[in-house]
Amino acid sequence: MKTYTTADANPAALRDKLTVIYGYGSQGRAHARNLRDSGFNVLVAARPDGASFKQAQEDGLAVDTPENAIPKADLIALLTPDMVQAELYEQIVAPLAKPGAALLFAHGFNVHFGAITPRQDLDVILVAPKGPGALVRSQYEEGRGVPSLFAIHQDATGKARELSLAYADGIGGTRGGVIETTFPEETETDLFGEQAVLCGGATELVVMGFETLVEAGYQPEIAYYEVLHELKLIVDLLNEGGLARMHQFISETAQYGDLTRGPRVVDEHARTQMRQVLKEIRDGTFAREWIAEHKAGRANYQALKQKDLDHPIEEVGRRLRASMSWLKDSASAKKAAA
């Protein structure tokens, strides 16, 4: 596996061209500002009556309507939420993009699952930082970069790879290292990680642990500290140095409990369910379900989300976090940095 760095990128391949950022959310805002600060020619496409238009102007970026911006673009970074991308592509990007332009995504969902079928004359590429937009920006400002992935779905001009690496370099990705993948691999592994481990798996484990302790008669506040609050300690250790670092900094009692009881909680049944979740991602079941849910108005999604937000662990957490001054300091620092 090759890791691409700044030495592999040719920023000049894109620096003198016009890059249009369509979608000024977490990733879009970070990408636009990093590219601008790297000397790239950046234009943000946004509706004049929207918050993104005003925010981009306040950030010192050139802004225009999508209808005016897209026809001028040499590279269009379509960074809007997944569920509106297909409509925006069909209504604005496809009819207005000039021949031979490049179309860039940060997630391969719509292309991989066929919601978007790109024009044959377009380069279709992916650059996906492995971190949220705020981190992409803060690491860039500190002279570092968030590791990223890149992929090529369609190389109409023969320049797709060069453009991908130039874009990755412009947002700081080559400082952290860039790995080549494919649209299917990025999409399927990203969805699996979210559903089985990072979001779905982790939150369900936390909530079930909280419920188990409270059901057994322990105070909800104590349960919160043990199964949610202290999770950050373990995640930070894992992030810093994997399993080895975690074992280095937890007690031997904790290590023994981990090694003997962990596999009883997350057992072969969990592995079977993970395989089923992955199967539903790979065969398109999840994508079809989520697209249908969005088109139907998201009633089930909203109900499930509200159930999460109404859980007792949320009320307990709000009360306890109110006394954690460092969380307020961190939030203020992030707001100031933004």
**Which residues are within 8 A (CB) of 133 and not within 5 positions of it... i.e. 6 or more apart?**
25, 26, 27, 28, 29, 30, 31
Centre a 10 Å sphere on the Cβ of residue 242 and count the other Cβ atoms it contains: 10
85 labelled ligand-binding: no
55 in a labelled binding site: no
Which one from 31, 107, 112, 153 is the annotated catalytic residue? 107
Q: Is 25 annotated as a binding residue?
A: yes
Is 52 one of the annotated binding-site residues?
yes
47 in a known ligand binding site: yes
Q: Is 133 annotated as a binding residue?
A: yes
Q: Which amino acid appears at position 171 of this protein?
A: I
**317 among annotated binding-site residues:** no
175 in a labelled binding site: no
| 24 labeled part of a ligand binding site | yes
100 among the known binding-site residues? no
Establish whether 27 is an annotated binding residue.
yes
The answer to whether 107 is a known catalytic residue is: yes
Annotation: binding site: 24-27, 47, 52, 133, 190, 194, 226, 230, 251
Annotation: binding site for NADP(+): 24-27, 47, 52, 133
Q: Give me the active site residues, please.
A: 107
Annotation: binding site for substrate: 251
